[in-house]
Amino acid sequence: MNILTYKLKFLVLSILLSIPHLLFSQNKQEASCGNITSSKSLAFYESIKPQLKTFESEFLSTNHSKGTVPAKTINSIPVKVYIIRNSDGSGGLSTLDLDETFSNLNAIYNEANLDFFICDGIEYIDDDALCHFKRGDEKSFTDTHYVPGLINMYFTNYIENESKESICGYSDNIGRNDIVVMKNNCATNGSSLPHELGHFFSLLHTHGADNNTQTTELVDGSNCDTDGDGICDTPADPRLSYKVNTSCEYIGNQTDANGDVYTPDTGNIMSYSSKSCRTHFSEQQLARMYAFYMTTKNYLSCPSFNANISVNESETCDNSLTVSFESTCENMTEWQWDINGDNEIDYTTKNPTHTFESGIYDVTLTVSNKSKSIRKKYTNFIKVGTHIDLLDESFEDFNMLEKHGWTSNDVTGHGYHWYSNFGDTQSGETGPLDYLNSENKLNTYIYAEASGAQPGDITEFISPCIDVNYQNSELEFSYHMFGEDVGELHVDIKTDSGYINNVIDPIYGSQQDHQTDDFITKNVNLSSYANETIKVRFRAVRGNGWKGDIAIDNIFVKTIHTPISDNIYKVYPNPIQGDLLYIKNSDIENISTFTITNLVGQPFLSGTVTNSPIDFSSLSSGTYLLTLTNGKTKVVKKIIK
Query: Smaller CB distance to Zn ion: residue 35 or 54?
Result: 35
| Residue 173 is a binding residue for Zn ion (CB under 5 A) | no
Return d(Cα 583, Cα 606) in angstroms, integer.
13
CB of 180 to Zn ion, least distance (A): 12
Query: Smaller CB distance to Zn ion: residue 33 or 112?
Result: 33
CB of 34 to Zn ion, least distance (A): 8
Query: Smaller CB distance to Zn ion: residue 101 or 630?
Result: 101
Query: Smaller CB distance to Zn ion: residue 269 or 367?
Result: 269
What is the per-residue DSSP string for 458-515? EEEEE--EEE--STTEEEEEEEEE-STT--EEEEEEEETTEEE--SSPPEES--SSST
What is the per-residue DSSP string for 128-175? HHHHEEETTGGGGGTTTS--TTSEEEEEESEEE-TTS-BEEEEEE-GG
> What would you report as the CA-atom Rg of the chain, rounded to the nearest whole angstrom?
30
Instruction: Select from 8-16, 26-34, 39-47, 609-617 the region that touches Zn ion (CB under 5 A).
Output: 26-34
CB of 274 to Zn ion, least distance (A): 14
Instruction: Select from 5-13, 29-37, 353-361, 453-461 the region that touches Zn ion (CB under 5 A).
Output: 29-37
Q: What angle do CA 230, 235, 237 make, to 5 degrees?
A: 85
Considering only residues 36 to 55 of the shown chain, the ones binding Zn ion according to CB under 5 A are none
Query: Which residue of this chain has its Cβ atom nearest to Zn ion in the complex?
Result: 33
CB of 135 to Zn ion, least distance (A): 13
Return d(Cα 399, Cα 420) in angstroms, integer.
8
Burial string for 374-413 (b: 16+ CB within 10 Å, else e) reads bbbbbbbbbbbbbeeebbebbbbebbbbeeebbbbbbeee
Query: Smaller CB distance to Zn ion: residue 33 or 374?
Result: 33
Query: Smaller CB distance to Zn ion: residue 33 or 503?
Result: 33
- Please report, for residues 530, 569, 573, 597, the alpha-carbon distance to residue 563 in angstroms, rounded to integers and kept in the order given: 19, 11, 20, 16
Query: Smaller CB distance to Zn ion: residue 178 or 492?
Result: 178
Cβ neighbours for 65, distance < 8 A, ≥ 6 positions apart: none
Considering only residues 478 to 517 of the shown chain, the ones binding Zn ion according to CB under 5 A are none
Query: Smaller CB distance to Zn ion: residue 204 or 534?
Result: 204
Cβ-contact 57, 288 below 8 angstroms: no
Return d(Cα 283, Cα 60) in angstroms, integer.
8
CB of 53 to Zn ion, least distance (A): 24
CB of 99 to Zn ion, least distance (A): 24
| Residue 33 is a binding residue for Zn ion (CB under 5 A) | yes
CB of 60 to Zn ion, least distance (A): 24
Instruction: Select from 31-39, 400-408, 411-419, 440-448 the region that touches Zn ion (CB under 5 A).
Output: 31-39
Return d(Cα 270, Cα 233) in angstroms, integer.
13
CB of 219 to Zn ion, least distance (A): 22
Cβ neighbours for 377, distance < 8 A, ≥ 6 positions apart: 73, 75, 294, 298, 362, 363, 364
Considering only residues 547 to 606 of the shown chain, the ones binding Zn ion according to CB under 5 A are none
Cβ-contact 609, 585 below 8 angstroms: yes
Burial string for 182-217 (b: 16+ CB within 10 Å, else e) reads bbbebbbbbbbbbbbbbbbbbbbbbbbbeeeebbeb
Give the binding-site size for Zn ion (rule: CB under 5 A).
2
Cβ-contact 197, 292 below 8 angstroms: no
Query: Smaller CB distance to Zn ion: residue 209 or 581?
Result: 209
Query: Smaller CB distance to Zn ion: residue 167 or 609?
Result: 167
CB of 268 to Zn ion, least distance (A): 11
Return d(Cα 68, Cα 63) in angstroms, integer.
11
CB of 160 to Zn ion, least distance (A): 16
Please report, as a single letter, which amino acid is at residue 5.
T
CB of 270 to Zn ion, least distance (A): 7
- Please report, for residues 24, 182, 216, 269, the alpha-carbon distance to residue 243 in angstroms, rounded to integers and kept in the order given: 9, 25, 18, 15
Cβ-contact 300, 235 below 8 angstroms: no
CB of 224 to Zn ion, least distance (A): 19
Query: Smaller CB distance to Zn ion: residue 161 or 430?
Result: 161
Q: How many CB atoms lie within 10 A of CB 114?
A: 22
Please report, as a single letter, which amino acid is at residue 28.
K
φ, ψ of residue 48 to 5 degrees: the values are -100, 10
Instruction: Select from 28-36, 54-62, 318-326, 632-640 the region that touches Zn ion (CB under 5 A).
Output: 28-36
| Residue 203 is a binding residue for Zn ion (CB under 5 A) | no
Query: Smaller CB distance to Zn ion: residue 33 or 576?
Result: 33
What sign does the CA torsion over 54, 55, 56, 58 have?
A: positive
DSSP 8-state assignment for residue 620:
P
Query: Smaller CB distance to Zn ion: residue 35 or 285?
Result: 35
Q: Is the peptide bond before 603 cis (omega within 30 degrees of 0)?
A: no
Instruction: Select from 33-41, 51-59, 351-359, 601-609 the region that touches Zn ion (CB under 5 A).
Output: 33-41
| Residue 35 is a binding residue for Zn ion (CB under 5 A) | yes
Q: Is the peptide bond before 575 cis (omega within 30 degrees of 0)?
A: yes
Instruction: Select from 25-33, 59-67, 94-102, 590-598 the region that touches Zn ion (CB under 5 A).
Output: 25-33
Query: Smaller CB distance to Zn ion: residue 33 or 108?
Result: 33
CB of 187 to Zn ion, least distance (A): 14
Instruction: Select from 4-12, 35-43, 288-296, 547-555 the region that touches Zn ion (CB under 5 A).
Output: 35-43
Instruction: Select from 27-35, 229-237, 533-541, 555-563 the region that touches Zn ion (CB under 5 A).
Output: 27-35
CB of 35 to Zn ion, least distance (A): 4
CB of 233 to Zn ion, least distance (A): 19
What is the per-residue DSSP string for 73-125? -PEEEEEEEEEEE-TTS--S--HHHHHHHHHHHHHHHGGGTEEEEEEEEEEEE
Per-residue 3-state assignment (H helix, E strand, C coil) for 338-364 = ECCCCCCCCECCCCCEEEEECEEEEEE
| Residue 382 is a binding residue for Zn ion (CB under 5 A) | no
Query: Smaller CB distance to Zn ion: residue 33 or 625?
Result: 33
Interface residue list for Zn ion (CB under 5 A): 33, 35
